[in-house]
Amino acid sequence: MFAAGGPASTGPGAVDCGYDGAVSRTPAGWDVDSPVQAEVFVVWLDGDQLQLTGPDGPQPWILQLGSVEHPVEVVDRIVRDVVGPPILVHSTSWRRDRDAVILSFVVVIDRELVGDMASLPIGRAELARSEATAAPRAIATGAVVEHGLRHLAWLAKDDPVVAAELPAGWQPILADYVPEPFRNLG
Amino acid sequence: MDDDRQFTNRCACGWEISGSEDEVVDATIEHGRRIHNMEATRDQVVAALHAPPVVDDAADAKAG
C-alpha cells in the first residue's frame, strides 16, 4: 500500500533540480499484498441519494486480511475504529484481482459518522456479467458497487435482521435495485 | 549528514507523510495498522524507503 519516496535530494551528490526537496524520485512501491484482501465500500444515505465515502474518500478502501483473521470481523473492527460503529457489514461479492482474492464489502453507516470524509453520489452502473464458464474480462468499481447494492436490496427483502437495521429511507431507495444474491464477479 | 535527510512515504490511498526517517517509519506503521490492517515491521518500511526507484518500462520502451 505504501509507496516510499526515499531520501530527498539533499545529501552528497544530489542534483539541485529546483523541485521540492521532500520528494526526490519515483516511489518504489508498497502495497497491501496479502492473498486475501477486503475492499470496503462505505455507504450512507443523504436525503434520497446514496453516497460513497471512507477515510480515503469514495475510492475502494483496501484492507489486508491475515490467514487466521475472519474477514467480517476485520472489516467491522477497522470501520468501527476509524469511522465509527457501522449499521451493517456485508460481504457482497468476490473476484480475482490485484494478485489476490478480493472480498467486497458494503458497509452502511449513519450520516452522523461521515464528518469531513469526502463523499461521492452513487450512480447506477451496468453489472459485469460472467460468461457461461468464465469470469468477466473486466470489472469496473462501479459494477462492484452496483452489485453490492443489489445484494443489499436482496437482503433487505430476505433477511429480517437487515430489514430491521436499515434506517428509514433506505428501503425505497433499494427497491430500485434488482435484488441479487452474493456472487463471484470474476 | 544522514540525520538531516528528509523522506516521503505515500500510500496508494492518498495518505502521505514527510519527515525524518524515524518520523516517516513510525507514521507509516501506524497508518498501515489503523487504516489497512497491515502489520509492517520497522525493517520493512525502512527497506521500502531505501529501495531503488521504480523503473517505468512503458516510458523506457517509448524512449528506446
DSSP A47-112: TTEEEEE-TT-SS-EEEEE-TTS-HHHHHHHHHHHHT---SEEEEEEEEEETTEEEEEEEEE--GG
Query: At A145, is the secondary structure helix, strand, or coil?
Result: helix
Whether B37 shows a pLDDT value over 70: the answer reads yes
Q: Per CATH, the architecture of A36-184 is what?
A: Alpha-Beta Complex (3.90)
The pTM of the full predicted model, rounded to 2 decimals, is 0.80
Distances (CA, A) of A173 to A44, A49, A161: 12, 8, 18
Cβ contacts of A23 on chain B, cutoff 8 Å: 8, 18
Q: Specify if B11 maps to a domain.
A: yes
A56 inside 8 A of chain B by CB: yes
Q: Specify if B62 maps to a domain.
A: no
Supply the pLDDT for residue B53. Answer: 63
The residue that leads in pLDDT, A86 or B13, is A86
Cβ contacts of A2 on chain B, cutoff 8 Å: 9-12, 28, 31-32, 40, 45, 48
Whether B17 shows a pLDDT value over 70: the answer reads yes
The parent domain of residue B43 ranges over 2-55
Q: Specify if B64 maps to a domain.
A: no
Could you give the number of structural domains in chain B?
1
Domain spans in chain A, listed from the N-terminal domain onward: 36-184
